[in-house]
Amino acid sequence: MIASSIRSAFLRRRRPLAPAIAVAAVLGLLVSGGASAQSRTTGGLGGRVVGEDDAPLPGTIVQIESPALIGGPRAAVADRDGRYRFPELPPGAYTISARLTGYRTLRIEGVLLSAGMGTEAPIHLTPYAGEETVGVSAQPIAIDPRSSATTTVLPPEFLENIPTDRDTSHILDLAPGINLESAYGGAEESGNSYEMDGVDISDPEGGVPWSFFNYTLIESVDLVGLGAPAEYGEFTGVVFNSVTRSGGNDPSGMAEIIYAGRAITGSNTRSRDLSATIQQHADAVVQAGGPIRRDRLWYFVSGQIIGRDGDAFTPLEATTGEDNPELVWNLSWRSVLSDSSILTVAWGGYTGQQHFIPHNGFSVPGHLDAETDLASGNARLFELRDRIRNQVNASFIHHVGAPAGDHEFKVGTEIERSTVHNRTGFPGGAFFVDKNGPVIDPSTGQPDFYTLGSFGGASDIRARNERISLYAQDSWGITPRFTLNPGLRLDVNRGIVSSGTVFRTSPLSPRLGFAWDLRGDGRSILRAHYGRYAEALYAAFYYDMDPSAIGPLTTKRTFDTSGYTETLSSVAGQKFAMDRHIRQPTLDQYVLGFDRAIGRGVVISGTLVHRRNAHLIETVSRDGRFVPVRGLVPGTGQRVTLFDYLNPSTDV
């Protein structure tokens, strides 16, 4: 895979769950988004400038600078309440300077900002008649007292130094309450949203990760799930939001290779008939970044090469080769319209394929020996999967200072167009299982072995997801210690196959939460949130409605001695129908949490989570015929009743 980005000075790139309690001590940054305007790929920085008596100091000039900040240092003037705001900042380490005539200039170094993080950094100035600058090191900012959402942020040092495998989706295993299989006890990975620089890189077929890239490409990851605002949708687990590295004013680069040779893998089978086929594994990465025009235009490129091989128990002739090229893109434009308003538009997506190509081509059938389980001839199946995903996001943020409290309004839209094309089948149109039996040959009346053949059964599925989402949310600081976070989201989903639109849902998702700074010191925060979250639009919900989804399948057996062939079953292409009252799967989530900062960057967090799923989509048989079958469970003596499905067309 090759991933690249260019950043300009415009600024850029299923089951119901009982209540569960998660308590974790988190080292690093455990934060929430919302103190100052930010998006999924940026942070916000703000605060209040006061003097010795805690009186506001309007007119203070506050300046920030960072190697990650394209365009050079930025400055803002504190308003009549002493507040300053820097919205939409790229992640990184920042230095804050504050100067006002008659006061010592203050310089705070090492303020860390992560994607999706809104940070309050208060500034205290002391009177001084001369000119003097006081430098201090920033304390870790571990809690945001203004948001009802809880976000786990994993900075680069976590990703680089923790010894885990190099699959980026497994980063989920590093966060409290989350792992690859379940987020807060919810659905498997299909319930998660996987994003890179704000671009959803999930598979539009079923939601699992599609684009895989190396850890070294990632600058930081934030995991958003509990109390997520209306901007976040299309998930019922957690949003995996990764931000990739950027170029800078100074040229930089890196090269890395991880290699495992035959001496490490050794022999993985003792069979004299099979030899070890896992010979080596290589993973190489090369990166480069730097300025095209200093402070105005940067570049960053990363290339990855991965080597892999088959397993030792299937001969090479019975395997498939994997062809996996893909291209990911992201283009964004951001305009700071005023000190209070920001407009952002982004377009991103990917195109790629995952082709499993039979070793001996598409015309030679595969075989399996029923006695030895050894495959031969060719792979059993071929599978060709193609994807194109496009998404346009636009948002407008506006800050209003009012007598009844500050408001941070955000409205936005998302437009998605994704296509899925899947083709599967037997090479040569058939697959054979040899040496079955013996059973009685009807043509001779004698026991004999036979070959079981499957013919047809190919599928050719084309599906298109079309979605328009609208959302509005507010961060309302009713008092300096109490913030209300209301929001509303609408997703208009349409699923289209070759015969037309077959899937229509329009879930409405309300959100409401609060954050209460109990002592007013930003160290003890009580949070509560209710939110409805709709599952993403997946082609798997409806693509079986495509007329060519599943072709006819015939099963025959041919006896070895006589050559007699008989048909065991013949199933027409399966027919599906969609319930006209179908609704989008949703999750209602209730969260009550308490965060307590106990030291330098250490937070104790206790969270009570209650989740309730509704409107799950399943495939059921409308006209299937079933017959009860009594049986004995081996080794237990227990008798049970199972139901055998009778094919409607053949009663087999």
pLDDT tens digits along 3-62: 332 322 222 223 333 333 333 222 223 333 334 556 677 888 888 899 988 899 999 999
pLDDT tens digits, residue range 459-500? Answer: 999 999 999 999 999 999 898 889 999 999 999 999 999 999
Tokens of 465: 């997801």
Number of other CB atoms surrounding residue 607 within 10 Å: 21
Looking at residue 590, what is its pLDDT? 96
Please state, for a pLDDT cut of 90, what percent of the chain lies above it: 34
For the stretch 70-99, what's the b/e string if a residue is b when 16 or more beta carbons lie within 10 angstroms of its beta carbon? beeeeebebbeebbbbbbbbbbbebbbbbb
* Amino acid identity for residue 14 in this structure: R
CA distances to 2, 311, 435 from 283, in Å: 14, 18, 42
Look at strands 199-200 and 193-196 and give their pairing: antiparallel
Residue 356 confidence (pLDDT) above 70: yes
- Is the link from the previous residue into 438 a cis peptide, with omega within 30 of 0? yes
Does the pLDDT value for residue 180 go beyond 90? Answer: no
* pTM score, whole prediction: 0.79
Share of the chain above pLDDT 70, in %: 84
